[in-house]
A and B are shown apart, each in its own frame.
Chain A
Amino acid sequence: MSEMLRVEGVSKAFDGFRAVRGANLTVARGSIVAVIGPNGAGKTTLLNLITGFLKADGGRIVFEGEEISRLAPHEICRRRIGRTFQLANIFPRLSVFANVQVSVLSHQGRSRDLLSTAARLAVRDTTAILESTGLAARARHLAGVLSHGDQRILEIAIALASEPRLLVLDEPTAGMSPEDTAATTTLIRHLARERGLAIILCEHDMDVVFSVAESVMVLHQGRTLVQGAPDVVRQNRDVQDAYLGTIDA
């Protein structure tokens, strides 16, 4: 598979604390890559660097042959990189439908249209996304009153509305019940397969990681320890020492 995203020696410090120290990551087209590591390893910082919410102090981030390290988040989204956040990040006062519709309108370049009636626009596209994520029945509900699990799914639906080629998911199953975790895992697999999406997944639940990821990158104290196939990473001595623990034969 050809390379889609390449992170080269990226670093980021906050007031002298080096959260990310020369991290490397490659994502192939249509693949699912999991980023794992202990708390404070720099996972979320790395995702924020990739999606433009933080600017790197050093290194390069190249997406589809273009350097995106200096771009603003909305410019990165327009290059078809979607994302979700560690905490459910939705529009709580808008309906579920409007949450997704706002994103569809932005993707269609209509968010500055002053004269049309928003309610009549992008209805089919919005409905299709809600149906594909299982939220169609709750389309008229206020997003803020949805359950935690549904809010996380809604976040994915919002991200999908911009038709991303790369989807960045920050702990998509955090705080979910086992049933919701299983449903979200199925959805992630389905999205990658049906839409041909590449996915970067930052996750603490190793069952989720090893059941969906085709490649695993281990981040430790801001450095890339290793990136490779799940089985290779699982057997890696440094990874076992730093994060997974020793596996008894």
Chain B
Amino acid sequence: MPEFYVYILALILVTGLLATSLNLVLGYGGIYQFHHAVFYGVGAYTLALAITRMGWPAWVGFAAGPVVAAAAGALIGVICVRLTRLYFGMLQLSLGSLLWTIVLRWRSVTGGDDGIHGILVPAALQRVEGAYYVILAVVGASLVALFIIVRSPFGATLQAVRDNPQRCQAVGIDVRVHQLVAIVIAAFFAGAAGALYVVLERSVFPNMLFWVLSLEIFVMCLLGGWFTFLGPLVGAGIIVALRTVASRYTENWTMILGTILILLIFFMPEGVMGHLQQWIAGRRRTREDAYV
């Protein structure tokens, strides 16, 4: 396969993991995590700084990326879970923007708006193919881990919290603790996606923590289907592919995306995978009715 397509596939996997991590809190938890990209950026910058500023081995930096992102998730989460819904989202957006500003202004450490480029990763990862296989393995393992979490008692309880937090309190569930744990887990995997991005691109820049990227991930979840596990991955695939193909022909590719979103809201409000799931369920019911 040409290297360019391998690169696009790797980018879809990285972005898909980022979107799936958001969906743990958004689709399964009903938490309005408006600024999820900040954890992606923290994971990426942690790896970049570990290699370029501290001289740590790449694997240590790679392990530190998700852990530091999870710590940032815990810090922001502790403050935000005191609020609900839109207020939660607005506070999260503000705190995330604060981190973005720090990264942008702290030029001596983060490189400011130039970011950090030419990050030296191990030789095996310097070719796109090598990076692709590592990304495939890590994203695969992360998706399996997230799937186990979604199907666990914790995941089931998280969905109950999404549906009715008041009822959850009345059956003995500490709603805030549950939401906080979900945010930390989601931040961890977003941090892993950020570190993988560094493996692929060997650079970081402040826009990785900017709210526009958070909005883009949000759209990926909606497009793919935020009540399905694979929906965000599909949404990421569509947007990355669309951006790659459409931007060859026009600079205004976001107009095409906007048109698709409008059609989606009217004809597939459950997203691509949600619609597919409903279609399969409908066919199964029809087949069962035929046997009655």
A interface residues, Cβ below 8 angstroms from B: 51, 53, 72-74, 77-78, 82-83, 85, 89-94, 98-99, 101-103, 105-107, 110-119, 121, 158-159, 161-162
Partner of A91, one of B151, B155, B167, B174: B167
Residues of B within 8 A of A (CB): 148-149, 151-157, 159-160, 162-164, 166-175, 177-178, 181
24 contacts between A and B (CB under 8 A): A51-B170, A53-B170, A77-B170, A77-B171, A77-B172, A82-B171, A83-B170, A89-B167, A90-B164, A91-B163, A93-B163, A94-B163, A102-B156, A107-B171, A111-B178, A112-B154, A117-B151, A118-B151, A118-B152, A118-B153, A118-B156, A158-B171, A159-B170, A159-B171
B152 in contact with A115 (CB, 8 Å): yes
Q: Which residues of B contact A114 (CB under 8 A)?
A: 148-149, 152, 154
Give Cα A98 to B175, complex, Å: 17
Q: Give the number of A-B contacts (CB < 8 Å).
A: 107
Q: Are B163 and A92 in contact (CB under 8 A)?
A: yes
User: Which A residues touch B167, using CB under 8 A?
Assistant: 85, 89-91, 158
Most buried by B among A83, A93, A162: A93
A111 touches B170 (CB 8 A): no
| Cross-chain contact A102 with B152 (CB below 8 angstroms) | no
| A-B CB proximity, top 9 nearest | A77-B172, A73-B169, A118-B156, A103-B171, A91-B163, A111-B157, A113-B153, A102-B160, A106-B172
B178 to chain A, nearest CB (A): 7
Whether B163 lies near A74 (C-beta < 8 A) is: no
A105 in complex: contacting residue of B153, B163, B166, B174, CB < 8 Å: B153
CB neighbours of B154 from chain A (8 A): 111-114
B164 near A111 with CB under 8 A, answer no
**A77-B169, A94-B163 are contacts. A115–B155 as well, Cβ < 8 Å?**
no
The listed residue (A72, A77, A94) touching B159 by CB distance below 8 A is A94
A residues less than 8 Å from B181 (CB atoms): 112
Question: Once the chains bind, are A162 and B171 in contact (CB under 8 Å)?
Answer: yes
Instruction: Give CA–CA (A241, B48) in the complex, Å.
Output: 78
Give the docked Cα–Cα distance between A116 and B169 (Å): 23
Least Cβ distance of B235 to chain A in Å? 20
Task: Knowing A102-B171, A112-B154, A114-B154 are in contact, say whether A91-B164 is a contact too (CB < 8 A).
Answer: yes
Contact of A111 among B151, B153, B162 (CB under 8 A): B153
Given contacts A102-B157, A105-B153, A105-B156, contact A72 B148 (CB under 8 A): no
Q: How far, in angstroms, from A110 to B160 measured CA to CA in the complex?
A: 14
Question: Could you tell me the distance in whole angstroms from the C-beta of B228 to the nearest C-beta in chain A?
Answer: 13
Supplied contacts A91-B163, A113-B154, A118-B153, 19 more A-B pairs, CB within 8 Å: A72-B169, A74-B170, A74-B171, A74-B175, A85-B167, A94-B159, A94-B163, A98-B156, A98-B160, A102-B171, A105-B153, A106-B171, A106-B173, A107-B171, A107-B172, A111-B154, A111-B178, A112-B154, A117-B152
Selected contact of A82 from candidates B149, B162, B168, B170, CB within 8 Å: B170
Residues of A within 8 A of B178 (CB): 111-112
> Which residues of chain B are near A51, meaning CB under 8 Å?
170
**A82 CB → nearest B CB, Å:** 7
Q: A74: which of B148, B151, B153, B172 is its contact (CB, 8 Å)?
A: B172
Residues of B within 8 Å of A98, CB to CB, are 156, 160
Q: Which residues of A contact B162 (CB under 8 A)?
A: 93
What distance in Å separates the Cβ of A120 from its nearest Cβ neighbour in chain B? 10
State the CA gap A94–B166 with chains docked (Å): 15
| Contacting residues, chain B, for A121 (C-beta < 8 A) | 153
B155 / chain A contacts, CB cutoff of 8 Å: 118
